[in-house]
Amino acid sequence: MTNINTISGQYYSLNLGTIEIKHTRQSFYRYWNRLHRFQKTLVLIVVFLSSFYVLTHIEFHHKQLKNIPSNHEHQPLKKEQNNVKQIPERFIQINNAKRPPYSLRKIDMKGPTNERQKKVVDAFLHGWKGYKENAWGQDELKPISKTSSSWFNLGLTIVDSLDTIYIMNLQDEFKEARDWVESKLNFDIDRYNNLFELTIRILGGLLSAYHLSADKIFLEKAYDFGNRSLPAFNTKSSIPFSDLNLMKRSAKSPSWTSDSSLAEVATLSLEFNDLTYLTSDDRFQNVIEKINQVLHKLNKPNGLAPIYIDTNDGQFRGHTITLGARGDSYYEYLLKQWIQKGANFDKNDKNYYLLADWLEAIQGIKDKLIRKTQPNGYMFVGELLSDTFSPKMDHLVCFLPGNIALGHLYLSKNPDFPQDQLKELINMAEQLTETCYQMYAKFATGLSPEIAYFNTHEDSSQDFYAKDNDRHNLLRPETIESLYYMKKITKDKKYEEYGWKIFEAFEKYTKIPGGGYSSINDVSNTGNSNYRDKMESFFLAETLKYFYLLFEDDDSFDFKRWLINTEAHLIPIPKA
């Protein structure tokens, strides 16, 4: 409650103010009357000139405002949150003097040229039909329940499938996917998603679609994504955070650890380097180079790196060595980055360390991880748990023979590279590819389990087996990927035949009537109740793309001009 003394004080103060104002006005009048006529004239002249100056400048600025072009009016302020830049218009013009170090033009595709390719296109359209009817605009299809699953909330299957659709020359499907990207793909999603998965699938898909179609909408979206992702690299160690919020432009480690996985931090390079080549914005390439240098300088006995790295200090954690989950694409991208950077054999070249690290790793794999089974002598790649060898091999490892074959292709161009080592490399690739195929052929469905364990004891009656929890098949692409590289590089048609048998197994055991394909729970079970109710986006993006390319009967797709990222998206090789 306000007391009466306060009220009186306020009233008294107000009266004082009134008295003071009146007294001031009277004093000014008396002072003016006391001035001489000359003084009064001088004061009036000064006041007049001051007023004239102010009025003329107001008019001048008013005219300036009128002269501003109308298209500059009411323009919103550009957001510069987290140093985000708008894409410069000159970077998205097809014909421009400041183009990247490769020629960008629309690539014409003629579609399937033989019956096997037509079967693959039919398979794609069957999967696309299920997705379009039951999950359009969502991330992935659940073909049994005819519903969808959410992960990124970014229409993942659409973006991931863009280049597959284009390569197959499915023009109507490409147009509807392209129109969805233009009108519906919005990165203002307030959730944390994995930076690695976003990069290889979303950014990779957009870049590949742009390179094939030359449609600038894909580059605009890719550049928007790149800008939003840069805060993930803002760490003391230069090792990026694993989780990214695209709307808030913020990033963090998972709540339970500060560790990131080796594959996740090392498998961003092809995509971010390509974004720099396309836009001349060096920020993307710069963050990748910092990661490369950190990983290169860390101690890696035999060239093999542990699968966890701390975001805080940039040091490895633990001693688990694997070319499967969390480790695989580190090794894949060492070679592919070196190719992207010019494939220079000069040891003084600033990017030669990428090839050197890859070669050291391949030697380390041969020395520390390669074993052969009993009784048939299949070569496989195991794991190291500290210093203990484990005869476990993920299906993911089946990318490796294709990667080794690609390395062999480039190293064979160097006349100084030892011929015996070249033969050893291609022999290693051939034997590992055979093992990966046998991981399909030996199970009742003709499909591979997610993980296999290999027997090396002399009294073993079978070469490998799968544990109950590892018998599922997720429609993965890695074996088909290696079959593709092996056919291209060795010209041996048997790899196409291997692929056809696997394709027929997918058709028989994973195809869902009405639309879609489903991963299965047990590759040993040929029954009908074996479905996991999930069509991973990579089945359309990778597996069917590699089948399609594997079955081409000519070199209509020149893979020597392209790098294929770990999600099977196409990145052109500069100056190739």
pLDDT tens readout for residues 308-349: 999 999 999 999 999 999 999 999 999 999 999 999 999 999
- Helix (H/G/I), strand (E/B), else coil: 177: helix
Q: Measured between alpha carbons, how far apart are the two ends of the chain, in Å?
A: 85
Residue 379 lies in a domain: yes
For position 557, what pLDDT does the model report? 80
Catalytic residue among 450, 463, 496, 542: 450
Residue 324 lies in a domain: yes
Tell me what percent of the residues of the chain surpass a pLDDT of 90: 78
Tell me what percent of the residues of the chain surpass a pLDDT of 70: 82
Hey, what are 168's tokens? 């197959």
Catalytic site includes residue 197: yes
Mean pLDDT of 471-490: 98
- Helix (H/G/I), strand (E/B), else coil: 391: coil
Residue 140 lies in a domain: yes
| 320 Cβ contact list (under 8 Å, min separation 6) | 306, 307, 308, 383, 384, 385, 386
| Residue 432 CA: distances (Å) to CA of 302, 378, 379, 397 | 20, 8, 6, 9
- Helix (H/G/I), strand (E/B), else coil: 379: strand
Q: Is 75 exposed, middle or buried (0-12, 13-18, 19+ CB in 10 A)?
A: exposed
Of 36-50, 214-228, 548-562, where does mean pLDDT reach its minimum? 36-50
Confidence check: pLDDT of 487 > 60? yes
Q: Is 48 left (phi over 0), alpha (psi -120 to 50) or beta?
A: alpha
Mean pLDDT of 227-240: 98
Mean pLDDT of 212-231: 97
Range of the domain at 232: 118-572
Distance CA 466, CA 473 (A): 11
Per DSSP, what are the bridge partners of residue 531? 520
Distance CA 343, CA 459 (A): 46
For position 11, what pLDDT does the model report? 30
Distance CA 317, CA 405 (A): 31
| Residue 319 CA: distances (Å) to CA of 322, 359, 369, 386 | 10, 21, 14, 5
Confidence check: pLDDT of 57 > 90? no
Neighbouring C-beta atoms of residue 504, cutoff 10 Å: 12
How would residue 61 be classed by pLDDT, with cut points 50, 70 and 90?
very low
Catalytic residue among 478, 496, 542, 552: 478
Residue 467 lies in a domain: yes
- Helix (H/G/I), strand (E/B), else coil: 41: helix
Catalytic site includes residue 289: no
Catalytic site includes residue 478: yes
Report the domain count for the chain.
1
Residue 521 lies in a domain: yes
If you average pLDDT over each of 66-75, 92-101, 369-378, which comes out highest? 369-378
- Helix (H/G/I), strand (E/B), else coil: 381: strand
Instruction: Identify the CATH number of the domain in which residue 516 sits.
Output: 1.50.10.10
What tens digit of pLDDT does each residue of 9-44 get? Answer: 333 333 333 333 334 444 555 555 566 666 666 667
Hey, what are 289's tokens? 């180079």
For position 558, what pLDDT does the model report? 84
Catalytic site includes residue 271: no
Burial 182-220 (b: 16+ CB within 10 A, else e): eeebebeeeebbbbbbbbbbbbbbbbbbbbbbebebbbb
Catalytic residue among 140, 281, 328, 383: 328
Hey, what are 377's tokens? 């002598």
For position 313, what pLDDT does the model report? 97
551: which DSSP letter?
A: T
Sequence ranges of the binding site: 566
Residue 124 lies in a domain: yes
| Residue 537 CA: distances (Å) to CA of 157, 177, 250, 315, 542 | 5, 14, 26, 33, 8
Distance CA 46, CA 41 (A): 9
Q: By the 8 A CB rule, do 277 and 574 touch? A: yes
Distance CA 288, CA 240 (A): 10
Q: By the 8 A CB rule, do 335 and 358 touch? A: yes
Mean pLDDT of 409-422: 97
For position 125, what pLDDT does the model report? 99
pTM of the entire structure? 0.84
For position 111, what pLDDT does the model report? 94
For position 554, what pLDDT does the model report? 75
The mean predicted confidence, pLDDT, of the chain is 88
Sequence ranges of the binding site for Ca(2+): 566
